[in-house]
Amino acid sequence: GVMHRNVIPPNILVYPSDSEENGVRVKVSGFGGARRFGEEDYFPQRAFTPKVVWLQYRSPEILLNATGRSGPTYGPAVDLWSVGCILAEMSTGKALFPSDSEIDTLFRIFQLLGTPSPKEWPELYAFPDWNHAFPKWPRRSLRLLVPKEDRVDMLNIYSRTRSRLSGGRGMKSPSKESESGSCSTPSGKQIRLPDAEDLLTKLLMYDPDHRPSARTALQHPFLT
């Protein structure tokens, strides 16, 4: 397989397409930092660099220096973490973990998801840059990502994206959330806020072994 290692908004290309059912086509670009994995017989495993992915979209295992030199290494789950950050950004209109340094990014992650423990991430103490003196923050609800004053939520991703791509021509306004926590996209698809939260929760799991693969994520109710 291939790890992209730089899944960030500028590398996600979205454009109108009459041939697609939802009216848009999405492609991933920027494979300059991609690496093969899982083919050690043909490509001997080497230590990975931690200097990959923009800081705002960098996974906690990379931030903790999981290079494989003196502890755990990272794998394709780093790309799924980045996807989770992008989905949250599509909802709120701002970066989920805006930061200017590795430790700042790590602490912003801890402040939202809670400081991790070995119970939820068994390899935690094996990471070279883990420090037992890190502050202990409690986990916050992902619903806090939704700006109440703007009524912006994950349910509007489809309609807002398609409207922007089409210049607003022939597109319905983003639907408001119903009392049941669901709404319709312009194509009539019913999507539910709990599904969006569930997908975000899975993509932003600390333990990369617990994050879904790209194939599994594509089968999630929020995307099907």
The closest alpha carbon to 154, from 179, 180, 175, 172, belongs to 175
Q: How far apart are CA 223 and CA 89, in angstroms?
A: 17
What are the residue boundaries of the structural domains of the chain, listed by start? Answer: 2-218
φ, ψ (nearest 5 deg) of residue 125: -70, -10
- pTM comes to 0.80
Tokens 């909802």 belong to 91
Q: What does the pLDDT look like over 152-210, one tens digit per residue?
A: 444 455 555 555 555 544 434 444 444 445 554 545 555 566 788 889 999 999 999 99
CB neighbours (10 Å) of residue 218? 10
Q: How far apart are CA 224 and CA 217, in angstroms?
A: 10
Q: Token digits for 12?
A: 């996600």
CATH class of 2-218: mainly alpha
Q: What does the pLDDT look like over 56-104, one tens digit per residue?
A: 999 999 999 887 776 788 889 999 999 999 989 888 888 999 999 999 9
Q: What does the pLDDT look like over 1-53, one tens digit per residue?
A: 889 999 999 999 988 877 766 677 889 999 998 888 765 544 455 677 778 88
